[in-house]
Amino acid sequence: MSVSLSYTCLLRLPTFSVPTKPISFNGPLPFYLPRSHISSSCFGFKSNPFIRTQTPRFFKCLPQRVSDERRETQVTTEEEEEDEEEKIVVFERLFSNLNQSTLKRESGSLSSAIFLVAGTTVGAGILAIPAVTQESGFLASAVACILCWAFMVVTGLLVAEVNVNTMSELGSGGVSLVSMAKRTLGSVGVQVVSWSYLLIHYTLLVAYIARSSGILTNFLGIPIWESATLFSLIFGGLCFFGSQRFIGAANGVLVFGVIASFAALVAVASGDLHWEALLKANFEAVPMSIPIIALSFVYQNVVPVLCTDLEGDLPRVRTAIVLGTAIPLGLFLVWDAVILGSFPVDTGVAVEKMVDPLQQLRSSSVTVGPFVEAFSLFAIATSYIGFVLGLSDFFSDLLKLPSGQNKPLLYLLTLVPPLVLSLLDPEIFFKALDFAGTYGVLVLFGILPAAMSWSDRIRNYF
């Protein structure tokens, strides 16, 4: 608050000596006086009943004069202190990841997180999309893909939010879906999450090994059981022996292989594209393809891994989820268009006979076949790594094992059962995908994230 008496005003006061400049009072003052008690101790002149003041009816009295430079210095110092306090309060991350050998901070990079999400999403599901969408057509299946992508992005963001809140409450990283369900939904939620999680991961790992073993058998000319074991040892060993940075770099190379082989495949196959075939739209057949399409966008199993690698930095986790799933969405749409557009509408071939358009495209052209095999193998490998990491973290949290201990036991439980099941039925690929998409994905990554987030928000509100 400031009070100024101008030169003209002071001339009208007969009891005052006229000052040479206006009198101004600024700055913090310790007390207030009513105008009837204003004396020479305040202004240097006696009170006068003819002084008229407007509201407010109190004037500040200065005990001493403070220079402008000192006031500016004080204000600047106070602003700097406030800025320092704000920097202390606002955290970019919950904790810091340390290298156990060097004890130096080893934070995960955003690009590695994006590649992990994209690689996990682009898996065996993309290989099955043309087979389940050929009856509905490209336009209807494109709408279904976009809606499923938006839904799965939202559920992934909910999982990330609950995971970070759970880490904040428990004071530790590496929190799996089991701990999240126990905190938000109780023992019933733990049972539902545990069985659904095991069902989805074991089923999909079986499908990945079954399809990759067939590709390696055709390429190397070895028996199915040898190719399945070789695939599990190579990429399972990568997850077991590799560090966080090495796994991220290897996954980035595999994602680059996916994109490169995909671009080459599209360039070769699109030369004989039937554009009129892309105009087909049968929305009545869309519900039958929803389980496989939703399964193709599964990545939520690696969200706890993202939250730990990115040190609980929720904005970076959200960026990784959105960008990491946008890449597969574009790939799915282009892939579906190229495969479905490769066959004319008036072929006269019954839909039930076209079980796998990808197999027909592979066998119909000697040039396209190698690109299809390469793309399929790269896509399966990236998803296999993500699911192995997610399932091993799940077992670690389920068995309450300290971080970094009993690692061989975790990977035996993760790698051996899917390998054995895939050898029992090498043709289990489509059956496993349909089973996982129908009974597991929509429960574990559709309903439960919304239920956990709702319970978490209610807890925080009250």
User: Do 156 and 286 belong to one domain?
Assistant: yes
Among 44, 68, 92, the domain-final residue is: 68
Peptide bond into 223 cis (omega under 30): no
In Å, what is the CA distance from 356 to each residue of 94, 205, 215, 359, 360?
47, 20, 15, 5, 7
User: Do 52 and 150 belong to one domain?
Assistant: no
Q: What is the pLDDT of residue 245?
A: 82
Among 68, 96, 125, the domain-final residue is: 68
Which has the minimum average pLDDT: 302-316, 346-360, 389-403, 432-446?
A: 346-360
State the Cα–Cα distance between residues 151 and 164, nearest whole angstrom: 20
User: Do 152 and 54 belong to one domain?
Assistant: no
Q: What is the pLDDT of residue 53?
A: 41
202 has pLDDT over 60: yes
User: Do 144 and 55 belong to one domain?
Assistant: no
What sign for the dihedral angle of Cα 333, 152, 208, 323? positive
Tokens of 137: 């057509």
State the Cα–Cα distance between residues 458 and 308, nearest whole angstrom: 25
User: Do 354 and 456 belong to one domain?
Assistant: yes
pLDDT tens digits for range 280-301 = 888 998 988 888 898 889 899 8
Residue 87 resides in a domain: no
Do 414 and 265 contact (CB within 8 A), yes or no? no
Stated length of the chain? 462
| Count of C-beta atoms within a 10 Å radius of residue 190 | 18
Residue 283 resides in a domain: yes
Q: What is the pLDDT of residue 96?
A: 54
User: Do 40 and 130 belong to one domain?
Assistant: no
User: Do 24 and 125 belong to one domain?
Assistant: no
The per-residue pLDDT of the chain, averaged, comes to 76
Do 311 and 246 contact (CB within 8 A), yes or no? no
56 has pLDDT over 70: no
Residue 74 resides in a domain: no
Residue 82 resides in a domain: no
User: Do 246 and 386 belong to one domain?
Assistant: yes
In CATH, what number is assigned to the domain containing residue 360? 1.20.1740.10
Determine the Cα angle at 146 with ends 379 and 118, to 5°: 30
Residue 98 resides in a domain: no
User: Do 193 and 302 belong to one domain?
Assistant: yes
Residue 163 resides in a domain: yes
State the Cα–Cα distance between residues 96 and 107, nearest whole angstrom: 7
State the Cα–Cα distance between residues 388 and 399, nearest whole angstrom: 16
User: Do 162 and 53 belong to one domain?
Assistant: no
374 has pLDDT over 80: yes
Mean pLDDT for the stretch of residues 25-32: 42
Going by their DSSP bridges, the two strands 3-5 and 23-25 should be labelled as antiparallel
Which of the pair, 425 or 67, is modelled with greater confidence? 425
**Residues spanned by the domain of 15:** 3-68
User: Do 211 and 320 belong to one domain?
Assistant: yes
Residue 229 resides in a domain: yes
Do 437 and 292 contact (CB within 8 A), yes or no? yes
65 has pLDDT over 50: no
State the Cα–Cα distance between residues 276 and 83, nearest whole angstrom: 62
User: Do 20 and 165 belong to one domain?
Assistant: no
pLDDT tens digits for range 143-197 = 999 999 999 999 999 999 999 998 888 776 678 788 899 899 998 888 888 888 8
State the Cα–Cα distance between residues 355 and 335, nearest whole angstrom: 17
Residue bearing tokens 């986790």: 317
Among 12, 34, 68, the domain-final residue is: 68
Do 89 and 355 contact (CB within 8 A), yes or no? no
Confidence of residue 37 (pLDDT cuts 50, 70, 90): very low
When divided into structural domains, the chain yields a total of 2
State the Cα–Cα distance between residues 53 and 58, nearest whole angstrom: 9
Q: What is the pLDDT of residue 352?
A: 47
Residue 88 resides in a domain: no
How far is CA 262 from its chain centroid?
24
**Residue 224 burial by Cβ neighbours in a 10 Å radius (0-12, 13-18, 19+):** middle
